[in-house]
Amino acid sequence: MDTHSLSSLLTVTRWARLASFAGFVVSGPDARTFLQGQLTNDIESATAEHYQRTGYCSPKGRLLTTMLQWRLDETSWAHLLPAESLERVLKRLKMFVLRSKVSLSPSNEPLCAIGLWGTAAQALSSRPSSELEGRSFAISMTSDADAATAAVPACTLLMDTPCAALGLRGWLIGPSEAIQQIMTSLAAAQELPEAAWLFSEIGSGKAWVWERTQDIFVPQMVNFELIQGVSFTKGCYPGQEVVARSQYLGKLKRRTFRADLSGTEVQRLTIPITELPGQDVWSSAVPAEPCGRVVTAAPVFDAEGRSRAEAALLIELTLSAWDAGGLSIGSLDGPMLEAGHLPYGLADAA
């Protein structure tokens, strides 16, 4: 992985503290084999230049969490996941280390993250944004990427899908001290709330599994294979047989869709927008019981970085209920949802 200064990659115009996310590192001679047998994606795809999304499933094939995964060196891989799930996930992973030569970083010293929006700078300016998604870059803590102190990079920049409203974006992840140092250097950029980053994720159709939604969704229910979070050729991991059957036997009956709440409907909510994940989704066409759940929700932000009265959501539900429409949150007479659009087709499954 080549080492760069942050300023050579991005001209940062906006940023957000991502307090809802934290990370850990798995390292050791057996780390590659260990991770290959635990997570949904192929460890060989997380190279020095490219990161990936991956998930951790229960034996029943339900997602216990979702993560970003990238390689630090030949025997170390880092992961970013919802901070509220960090201790639980580390405890579960450690149960399966057994005699493997593997170490997991402690939960009391987690990696931290901030989200960056901006425009491509020197090192990226010649590349189209479509080629930047999924790229990982080591970031030195000096302005000179050849300096001796840059030999061991303190942070990693993971480029993600650009946000239509807020621009090119990337996750900057590293130790707390390094992230604090970089935040100090961003004084001229506009700080946005974390909800703006979640809005960018929703616009990309990328779902996160939070504590209130863990152990509910098979990966395909949240379109996880459509954002390259699942490998169907890598071999066994917890829940792999269930995930494979969902892919190859029969037609999927549940998916995640983009939906929106107008300003009028947001006013009818009884809880904050960001606390909607896990809330039931109802359809007037099938009134007997809920047809789905909210996966992720955030306020809508405009190109100036201002929060608007509307809300953007990812909702998981049956295909028949989506087709029938008449969707609401919490109850049949709850706030009414409007159909939105995903940046990928649900028929794009590999």
Predicted pLDDT of residue 146 = 45
Residue 202 falls inside a structural domain? no
Count Cβ atoms below 10 Å from residue 6 Cβ, excluding itself.
Answer: 23
The CATH number linked to 85 is: 3.30.1360.120
| DSSP secondary structure letter of residue 50 | B
Q: Which of 138, 158, 193 is the last residue of a domain?
A: 193
CA end-to-end distance (rounded Å), the chain: 29
Q: What angle do CA 255, 168, 13 make, to 5 degrees?
A: 130
Residue 200 falls inside a structural domain? no
What is the extent of the structural domain holding 221?
Answer: 211-339
Task: Kindly report, residue by residue over 289-329, the tens digit of the pLDDT.
Answer: 999 999 999 999 999 999 999 999 999 999 999 999 999 99
Contact 72, 25 (CB under 8 A): yes
Confidence class of residue 75 from pLDDT cuts 50, 70 and 90? very high
Residue 1 clears pLDDT 80, i.e. is over it: no
140: left (phi over 0), alpha (psi -120 to 50) or beta: beta
One domain for residues 134 and 32: yes
Predicted pLDDT of residue 130 = 80
Residue 231 falls inside a structural domain? yes
Region 188-217 average pLDDT: 97
Tokens of 165: 């409203």
Residue 350 falls inside a structural domain? no
Residue 287 clears pLDDT 50, i.e. is over it: yes
Predicted pLDDT of residue 127 = 86
One domain for residues 182 and 226: no
Confidence class of residue 350 from pLDDT cuts 50, 70 and 90? very low
Contact 173, 160 (CB under 8 A): no
Predicted pLDDT of residue 249 = 82
One domain for residues 240 and 173: no
One domain for residues 181 and 233: no
One domain for residues 148 and 248: no
Count Cβ atoms below 10 Å from residue 2 Cβ, excluding itself.
Answer: 10
Predicted pLDDT of residue 214 = 97
One domain for residues 70 and 104: yes
One domain for residues 223 and 171: no
Region 328-349 average pLDDT: 90
Confidence class of residue 151 from pLDDT cuts 50, 70 and 90? very low
DSSP per residue over 185-215, as a string? HTTTSEE--HHHHHHHHHHTT-----GGGTT
Tokens of 122: 């020197």
Q: Which of 138, 167, 193 is the last residue of a domain?
A: 193
Contact 77, 69 (CB under 8 A): yes
Residue 348 falls inside a structural domain? no
Residue 144 amino acid letter: D
Percent of the chain at pLDDT exceeding 90: 86
Q: Which of 136, 166, 193 is the last residue of a domain?
A: 193
Report the domain count for the chain. Answer: 2
For the entire predicted model, the pTM comes to 0.94
One domain for residues 187 and 217: no
Tokens of 306: 């201002």
Predicted pLDDT of residue 346 = 86
d(CA 243, CA 321): 23
Residue 235 CB-density burial (10 A; 0-12 exposed, 13-18 middle, 19+ buried): exposed
Residue 147 clears pLDDT 60, i.e. is over it: no
Burial state string for 152-191 with b = 16 or more CB within 10 A and e = fewer than 16: ebbbbbbbbbbbebbbbbbbbbbeeebbeebbeebeebee
What's the CA dihedral at 108, 111, 114, 120 to 10 degrees? 170
